[in-house]
Amino acid sequence: MLAGLEVTNLSKRFGGIVVADAIDLTVPSGRIVGLIGPNGAGKTSFFNLVSGVVPPDAGRIVLDGKNMTDLKMPQRARLGLARTWQNLRLFPSLSVLDNLLIGARDYPGERLATLVFQPGRIRRTGKAERLKALEVLERTGLAGIADTEIANVPFGQQKLIGVARALMNDPRCLLLDEPMAGVEGHAYRAIQKVVRGLAESGVAVCVVEHNVAFIRDLCDEGVFMFAGKVLARGDVESLVADPRLTELYFGT
Amino acid sequence: MEYIYAIAILMALYVILATSFNFIIGYGGLISIAHPVFYALGAYSSALLARDMGVPVFLAIPAGGLIALIASVAVALPSLRISGDYLLIASIGFQLGILELIKNLPWTGGSGGLTNIPSFLTQTAGREAYVAFAVAAAIGSVLLLRWIAQGPYGRAMSAMRDDELAFAALGRNAMTMKIAIFALGSSLAGLAGGIYVHYFRFIAPGQFDILQSSALLTMVVVGGLRSTWGPIVGAIALEALPQAITFVNLPPSVLGPLQGILFTSLVLIFMFVRPQGLIAASERWHGRNEEVRDARRA
């Protein structure tokens, strides 16, 4: 059994458009793999297939030896799969801290029966989760804005909140969809540090990113995707240097 | 005096109905109009259980709530599996279907209505006791739903309304939550039905038609969606309004349509002028004090 994410023969087409063409891709636990490729190469679609937003036509998705191909999105999350979104998808009606609390893997207060019959358990877990959320906010440098509304948080920090919310799940595999687009300065370094720390603690990380410098800084290896296929895999430097791939990336 | 008691009980029941309807459409974001039918199901079940099967009224009333709960899950489960929008269509069909059923079944009294329903409390403890009972039920319902909305469950409901996809990707099941919200709201309506029926001792299917749905919607929208006080104010105001008009001594042929026009124009006016209702709820979710205090302290 491979610890980490193991995807085999993953395929999906929408009508005539092939977004995943027999993709074989592994992200071993503790590694950071960057997905590179032009727009429309199928990178985000790959994330959507793995996280369960859309069901695949064929293929297998296995996390830490557990087959999750037939599981729905919430069940996959409960097995330790976490993701962020290109367009953030934070909860605007909740404070930063409350956004994180929705990310906790199991929150018994969100079940009506438990709410009525086991109030003590809710108080204990609730408190533990709040402490954990505050600890994650501390680690990501967001502790100062715990009580702030999402709308009042600058964009870079919103991206960081997206990552922090995913951390609340104690993920075994984290899919980061363009975590750096529009981010600079403190938030940039914070995301970098957090993601590295996660990989060191054994999380399998997969990153979609157009910022090649970031991929080069962060990823152990890169995967080049084009038209729903994995074309090449290797260290980021050699992928970026490959004239054939550069041509595909920028088009001719 | 009896007139005042009747109004007080009706106001209390409409507070339960509007508050639980607000829970479904405001907090749950579920578009349904069938709320009066769950009220009807509770009323008919409780009445028939007590009248024809000899069930004591204090058991028949919660049984009515339970039957409304089961029926609501049966409506919500198939329609929510497809998409949220289908709940509206299913709820319209359900409302029309159940009312037709009541009109045509041999043991429901038909369109003429069900009579000879056993009374409760009034003979032994007096009418005042029944008023207290109804008001206590209303206060209990309001407090229960407020307690849920301000706790972790309320936070999750807010998140679900904001972004269902992100909610699911964090391991939460939006469908289970929607069904639970719908079932809880509907069962409270059923409970209100039981309380109604053992005081007024007569029900007819005409009381639970689409006009009743629009009245409830008016109470919630005019009062203020997703606020605790909104549906209470809406229910009391809109229950008092028709009573007030009756004092003007208009002929009944004018009175009925006038009420309809009044309700509809109120909704329209509020939609344009004050969409947040009389009592505006905050856009942001606020937890119970203990949660906030805990967060600050930690």
- How many other CB atoms are found less than 10 A from the CB of residue A224? 24
Could A134 and B287 be called an inter-chain contact, meaning their C-beta atoms sit closer than 8 Å? no
Q: Is residue B97 part of a domain?
A: yes
- Please list every residue in chain A whose beta carbon sits closer than 8 Å to the beta carbon of residue B168: 52, 72-74, 77
- Please list every residue in chain B whose beta carbon sits closer than 8 Å to the beta carbon of residue A107: 152, 156
- Please list every residue in chain B whose beta carbon sits closer than 8 Å to the beta carbon of residue A99: 159
Where are the strands (E) in A50-178, listed by range?
A: 58-63, 66-67, 81-83, 173-177
The whole-number pLDDT of residue B125 equals: 84
pLDDT reading at B294 higher than 60 = no
**Domain that includes residue A239, residue range:** 4-94+169-250
Where are the strands (E) in A29-147, listed by range?
A: 32-36, 58-63, 66-67, 81-83
Total domain count, chain A: 1
- How many other CB atoms are found less than 10 A from the CB of residue B144? 16
Could A147 and B165 be called an inter-chain contact, meaning their C-beta atoms sit closer than 8 Å? no
Could A109 and B285 be called an inter-chain contact, meaning their C-beta atoms sit closer than 8 Å? no
- Please list every residue in chain A whose beta carbon sits closer than 8 Å to the beta carbon of residue B165: 53, 73, 89
Q: Is residue A122 part of a domain?
A: no
Tell me, what CATH number does A238's domain have? Answer: 3.40.50.300
Q: What is the DSSP string of A159-188?
A: HHHHHHHHHTT--SEEEEESTTTT--HHHH
- The answer to whether the beta carbons of residues B227 and B277 sit under 8 Å apart is yes
pLDDT reading at B289 higher than 60 = no
Span B158-176, average pLDDT: 94
Give the least confident one: A165-169, A226-230, B184-188, B284-288: B284-288
- The answer to whether the beta carbons of residues A183 and A138 sit under 8 Å apart is no
The whole-number pLDDT of residue B292 equals: 53
Q: Is residue B80 part of a domain?
A: yes
Q: Is residue A127 part of a domain?
A: no
Q: Which residues pair with A63 in a beta bridge?
A: A5, A66
Total domain count, chain B: 1
- The answer to whether the beta carbons of residues B76 and B245 sit under 8 Å apart is no
pLDDT, one tens digit per residue, over B28-41 is: 999 999 999 999 99
Q: How many CB pairs below 8 A link A and B?
A: 113
Q: H helices then E strands: how many in chain B?
A: 13, 0
pLDDT, one tens digit per residue, over B58-80 is: 999 999 999 999 999 999 999 88
Could A110 and B285 be called an inter-chain contact, meaning their C-beta atoms sit closer than 8 Å? no
User: CB-CB: which of A112, A149, A169 is closest to B284?
Assistant: A149
User: CB-CB: which of B152, B172, B283 is closest to A126?
Assistant: B152
Q: How far is A117 from chain B (nearest CA, A)?
A: 13
Q: Is residue B134 part of a domain?
A: yes
Q: Please give the Cα distance from B200 to A104 (Å, whole number).
A: 49
Q: Is residue A179 part of a domain?
A: yes
Q: Is residue A188 part of a domain?
A: yes
In a mutagenesis test of the A interface, which of B148, B170, B177 is the best target, namely the one with the most A β-carbons within 10 Å? B170
Could A93 and B283 be called an inter-chain contact, meaning their C-beta atoms sit closer than 8 Å? yes
Could B171 and A169 be called an inter-chain contact, meaning their C-beta atoms sit closer than 8 Å? yes
**Domain that includes residue B134, residue range:** 2-207
Contacts of A152 by beta carbon, 8 Å cutoff, 6+ apart: none
| pLDDT band with cut points at 50, 70 and 90 for residue B123 | confident
pLDDT reading at B297 higher than 70 = no
**Phi and psi at residue A42, in whole multiples of 5°?**
105, 20
Residue written as tokens 């208009």? B250
Which pair of structure tokens corresponds to residue B150? 């301000």
pLDDT, one tens digit per residue, over B76-96 is: 999 888 766 789 999 999 999
